[in-house]
Amino acid sequence: MKKIQMVDLISQYQHIKPTIDKGFEEVLSTASFINGPQVNLFAQNLEKYLDVKHVIPCGNGTEALQIALMALDLQPGDEVITSDFTFAATVEVISLLKLNSVLVDVDYDTFTISPEAIRKAITPRTKAIIPVHLFGQCANMEEILQIANEHNLYVIEDNAQAIGAEYTFKNGTCKKSGTMGIIGTTSFFPSKNLGCYGDGGALFTDDDELAHKIRGIVNHGMYKRYYHDEIGVNSRLDSLQAVVLNTKLPLLDSYNEKRIKAANYYDRAFSDHPNLVIPVRMEIYSTHVFHQYTLKVINSDRNSLQQYLSKREIPAMIYYPVPLRKQKAYDNGNYNDEDFPVTNKLIDEVISLPMHTELEEDQLKFITDTVLNFFK
């Protein structure tokens, strides 16, 4: 059996090596490291895949979120509602821009932001909601967009973990994850479902004016060379990363299929277990592309399970061990523990198992057998 890894990018590379190597050589031999034709080609390819009017590549997923907030002209003191249970990038950029982050509880089944909690958190200063499509499944966008509509709020989707997922609205309309809000953002960090070999990110929008503004912001606020119309940043996807993404984008659906297959294997092994809750798939509205396969461990000791697996060379991760509102950097003293019953529970229950495109049957068998043996 091959050594089990949380993510196996080395084996994945072996399958696409000729195309990647050839593309890299082309960039190297033309020295078109920045703004090479590969970058624009990738933006066009992703526009087609997502069926969105504009894809603007940028440096990473965190900057994509920051640029989205800058493009919407949010002002210091404006409130932005987001999830208490996610990676810190979202709350980080809100705070960097001196906006007020309002963290709210999540839904127990899906780990995504609770529409009910959003409603309770809205004030006259609320300007935007950032739902995070956590672990590979879309948040309840039907309700979130409805709330946003009622209160005239922007919705920015953090799609770093769910690229390729599809959302179906009650009226039958089907949209790719990240294309439902005014802006969607994503990350191409190597371990994401669509990852490059360094840092990368992108913003998506159907709005021409916003797209124009974003194209300026990512490039020092320049629309004409050396004329700076607004304060921008330097945030670029480089040509080598675009080579990787152009190679991997046509494979994204098959990559996600492989993740779903591994998730199905895990589900079969764990679905009847009294101490394990398998990830709930909200098939009525979203497909699940399993960026992570996250179990809940109930009436047992999650940390001991993690140690037990680790001793048997099975990596397993706790995403996420600390709610964002309790992080030193973001604890503003305004939160009440009673408002976060779900996050408070999840941080003790969740454990994510190895999940990637190269998992083999003997590895899956060893992982599931070992997890089940822990409880015997």
Ligand X SMILES: *Cc1c(COP(=O)(O)O)cnc(C)c1O
User: Residue numbers of the site for ligand X (CB under 6 A)?
Assistant: 60-62, 86-87, 89-90, 132, 158, 160-161, 187, 189, 199, 201
Q: Parallel, antiparallel, or unpaired: how do β-strands 79-83 and 100-104 relate? A: parallel
Residue 3: active-site member: no
Q: What share of the chain is helix, strand, coil (3-state, %, to 5)?
A: 40, 20, 40
Q: Which residue is nearest to ligand X (CB)?
A: 61
> What is the C-alpha to C-alpha distance for residues 264 and 269, in angstroms, rounded to an integer?
9
Tokens of 335: 């939160």
Closer to ligand X at the Cβ: 192 or 302?
A: 192
Tell me how far apart the alpha carbons of residues 81 and 31 are, in angstroms, rounded to a whole number. Answer: 43
| Closer Cβ to ligand X, 12 or 86, answer by number | 86
Read off the tokens for 347.
């941080």
**What are the residues whose beta carbons fall under 8 Å from the beta carbon of 274, sequence distance 6 or more?**
299
Q: Which residues fall within 8 angstroms of residue 28, CB to CB, at 6 or more apart?
A: none
Cis-peptide into 49, omega within 30 deg:
no
Rounded Cα gap, residues 167 and 160, in angstroms: 15
User: Which residues lie below 8 Å from residue 328, measured CB to CB, with a gap of 6+?
Assistant: none
Residue 330: how many CB atoms within 10 A of its CB? 18
Alpha helices in 122-175 (DSSP H): 141-151
N residues, the chain: 376
Active-site residue identified among 17, 98, 120, 192: 192
* Strand ranges (E), 109-171: 126-130, 154-158, 166-168
H or E stretch covering 107: none
Between 62 and 110, whose beta carbon lies closer to ligand X?
62
Alpha-carbon span 324 to 102, nearest angstrom: 11
Distance in angstroms (rounded) separating the CA atoms of residues 147 and 127: 12
Contacts of 213 (CB under 8 A, 6+ apart): 71
> E-assigned strands of 174-330?
174-176, 183-187, 201-205, 222-224, 227-228, 276-277, 293-297
Catalytic residues: 192
